[in-house]
């Protein structure tokens, strides 16, 4: 398989994920400010999930631009990442139905942590496929951003049971950390 086909598959899955997420949104029951306030937690969850999907897509794009080869390990690692991203709409629905409460917020953190781990596994697979001296293997050896993100996710998952909104704040912090595409790949 070529890098172009891998990118095309990822683009298609991401497009479907984003479509399903937007379909989870609800209109306010009445055309009043109070009714709009009732759907704000769902809109906020959608916005955060959308940003995360965009972050993964952007960084995936830049990482694959630096890669040279696709192997079976790369394919499975990419599928694992896509699986995690397909869980985002489920998390949106659960937050809509249960509110910003401990279990949905912690579960969203578990999905975010799983996505981060599978992204790291994809980095490893690409580094192994490209070999020593490649751009991907160079980036793979310096995982500060990746590991600090995982640390925030673990803290947020645990914190969700005491203060769910603080957990969400930690998820926002990690999104801010990654909002600029991974400079190690784009050479900023």
Mention every residue, 6+ apart, whose C-beta is less than 8 A from residue 53: 14, 17, 18, 21, 85, 88
CA distance 146 to 118: 11
CATH classification at residue 115: 1.20.1410
**Long-range contacts for 27-36 (Cβ within 8 Å, ≥24 apart)?**
none
User: CB burial class (10 A; 0-12, 13-18, 19+) of residue 127?
Assistant: buried
Report how far residue 98's alpha carbon sits from residue 91's, in angstroms, rounded to the nearest whole number.
10
| Residue 186 pLDDT greater than 70, yes or no | no
The mean of the pLDDT values for the chain is: 92
Mean pLDDT of all residues in 64-92: 95
| Calpha distance 102→165 (Å, rounded) | 9
**Total domains, the chain:** 1
pLDDT value of residue 66: 87
Q: What is the mean pLDDT of residues 142-161?
A: 94
Mean pLDDT of 46-59: 95
pLDDT given at position 187: 55
DSSP code string of 105-140: HHHHHHHHHHHHHHHHHHHHHHHHHH-TTSHHHHHH
The pLDDT, as a whole number, for residue 32 is 92
Compute the average pLDDT of residues 5-25.
94
Percent of the chain surpassing pLDDT 70 = 97
Report the alpha-carbon distance of residue 85 to residue 90 in Å, rounded.
Answer: 10
Q: With pLDDT > 90 as the criterion, what percentage of the chain qualifies?
A: 72
Report pLDDT for 126. Answer: 95
Q: Which whole number is the average pLDDT over 69-80? A: 96
How would residue 182 be classed by pLDDT, with cut points 50, 70 and 90? Answer: low
Q: Which of the pair, 137 or 156, is modelled with greater confidence?
A: 156
User: Is residue 164 within 8 Å of 107, Cβ to Cβ?
Assistant: no
Q: What is the pLDDT of residue 185?
A: 72
- The count of residues in the chain is 188
Domain that holds residue 139: 3-186
pLDDT of 18 above 50: yes
What would the two tokens of residue 47 be?
């916005």
**Residues 6+ away with beta carbon under 8 Å from 42:** 24, 25, 26, 92, 95, 96
Residue 25 confidence (pLDDT) above 80: yes
Non-local CB neighbours of 119 within 8 Å, separated by 6+ positions:
56, 59, 60, 81, 146
């Amino acid at each position: 398989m070529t890098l172009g086909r891998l990118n095309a598959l990822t683009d298609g899955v991401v497009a479907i994920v984003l479509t399903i997420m937007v379909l989870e949104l609800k209109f306010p029951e009445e055309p009043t400010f109070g009714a709009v306030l009732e759907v704000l937690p769902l809109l906020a969850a959608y916005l955060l999930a959308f940003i995360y999907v965009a972050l993964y897509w952007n960084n995936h794009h830049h990482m694959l631009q630096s890669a040279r080869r696709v192997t079976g390990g790369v394919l499975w690692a990419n599928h694992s990442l896509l699986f995690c991203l397909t869980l985002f709409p489920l998390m949106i629905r659960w937050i809509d139905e249960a509110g910003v409460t401990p279990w949905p917020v912690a579960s969203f953190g578990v999905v975010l942590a799983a996505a981060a781990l599978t992204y790291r596994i994809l980095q490893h697979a690409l580094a192994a496929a490209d070999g020593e001296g490649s751009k991907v293997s160079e980036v793979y050896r310096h995982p500060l951003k990746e590991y600090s993100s995982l640390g925030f996710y673990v803290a947020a998952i645990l914190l969700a049971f005491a203060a769910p909104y603080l957990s969400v704040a930690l998820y926002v912090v990690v999104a801010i950390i990654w909002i600029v595409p991974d400079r190690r790949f784009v050479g900023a």
